[in-house]
Amino acid sequence: MDAAHFVLQPFLGFLWCFVRLFIKAPAGRQRFNVLGALHATSLQLVTVSNCDYINSQSVAALLRQLAATFADLPITLVLDNARYQRCRFVQALAAELGIELLFLPPYSPNLNLIERLWKFVKKQCLYSQYYEKFTNFKQAIEDCLAEVSGKFKEQLSSLLTLNFQTLENVSL
């Protein structure tokens, strides 16, 4: 589980070019926040989104949605140490719903599978794209997330593997 904060601003796919090129950019800095949980093997995505802030109430809404979606299965949720995820309220609700929370070590986003999904979404629908209105921007992200286990499943199957780079037995 992790949150992504998409900001309506230009995302350049490349950092340099031979000819000077001007890119249209929208005015304003509106944000679209998505809190998501990705099933590691089936790639089923459960999300809660808003245009305000991700907080403990957002996490609680996602936990309830996960408990309803996977009612008959044991749930272990891998998440980082964001304060809104580690607070007593969230931990108490998770215990009440029978959800085990597995917190990652600090500074290890490489161990969180959904981080790769957020990178894919940015590449698919934000890099080198211009959205005139915030509603178009938001819809593009929602459409991309809706196709995670559909249209993009084949592309994501090689990206969202359970092969994690670990640094064991490394001399410093």
pLDDT in tens, the chain (172 residues): 999 999 888 766 666 667 766 667 777 789 999 999 999 888 899 999 999 999 999 999 999 999 999 998 999 999 999 999 999 999 999 999 999 999 999 888 888 889 999 999 999 888 878 888 999 999 999 999 998 888 888 888 777 777 766 667 766 6
Listed in sequence order, the residues at least 6 apart from 47 whose beta carbon sits closer than 8 Å to its beta carbon are: 34, 35, 36, 37, 62, 145
The residues that bridge with 3 in the sheet, in sequence order, are 35
Q: Tell me, yes or no, whether 82 lies in a domain.
A: yes
Give CA 134 to chain center in angstroms: 19
Closest CA to 75 of 67, 65, 84, 85: 67
Residues composing the chain: 172
Q: Is residue 166 part of a domain?
A: no
pTM recorded for the entire structure: 0.84
Instruction: Tell me the C-alpha distance between 157 and 43, whole Å.
Output: 8
Count of domains for the chain: 1
SS3 of the chain: CEEEEEECCCECCCCCCCCCCCCCCCCCCCEEEEEEEECCCCCCEEEEEECCCCCHHHHHHHHHHHHHHCCCCCEEEEECCCHHHHCHHHHHHHHHHCEEEEECCCCCHHHCHHHHHHHHHHHHHCECCCCCCHHHHHHHHHHHHHCCCCCCHHHHHHHCCCCCCCCCCCCC
101 inside domain = yes
CA 48, 53, 59, 64 dihedral sign is: negative
CATH number of the domain bearing residue 74 = 3.30.420.10
* C-beta separation of 77 from 104 below 8 A: no
Residue-number span of the structural domain to which 38 is assigned: 2-6+28-159
165 within some domain: no
Q: Is residue 12 part of a domain?
A: no
Provide the pLDDT for residue 74.
95
Both tokens assigned to 147:
């196709």
